[in-house]
Structure 1
């Protein structure tokens, strides 16, 4: 996509070298058009780079001894922690941490962060995308969205 946008900008810049006043298209309009196309090219390149970065850094933890790029060599000794008996319980969240929190916009359902820190061993491995912060009359509450966690394989016990 980036190549197509660059080619379009380059071709329009070459067209700009010819007299464009015959079609009621002056140099100011051509400049605005080029700036707009350049902005579209930059936005498209940023989106493509972000998409490449997201797909390139995803690491699937399948507990089969695969390479986990987020861990260093010092973590290789801790593979016994990832054994089968722990992997079954890794995605099971304690039900007592599930809360209904009253906000001024209504009731929000979430897993409380402090409760999970006390009762769930793998709280640091929960997906950051599922983290939520809601504001109540008693102040802000942090936790995790249960629907987001369910989509990523977690369940309540």
Structure 2
């Protein structure tokens, strides 16, 4: 058996049009803004393959400090595709799932930021209450409320 060199998953990235709206939404969900700044220059373009780029980035962190969400707004080059409203079964589509202690209360707060439940909140056995929601700009995220010992 080969030992992996993997240390952890560092973050998941989402490209947005309005960094302010996305930061406000994910702050309401319970993440904390860890830092915000611009990334630009030839070195960054060598990583992404985009050449001369300028990106405004906000790093959000979960309450436990173990997971991060990187929100990016491209200033240069301009955005070339928009997959935000693609259905969840679209190839390459990404969504992040967040565990919450009270799904109904969380939905009430997020609706004030424009969140809409994709279909409905469902219960999976005695383990979870789950739903997908569309947040700002149609970003798809999942919410899961653990129920009793089965979901923790």
TM-score, length-scaled by structure 2: 0.22
Q: Please, what TM-score do these two structures have when normalized by structure 1?
A: 0.21
Considering fraction of residues, name the structure with more helix: 1
Q: Which has the higher strand share?
A: 2
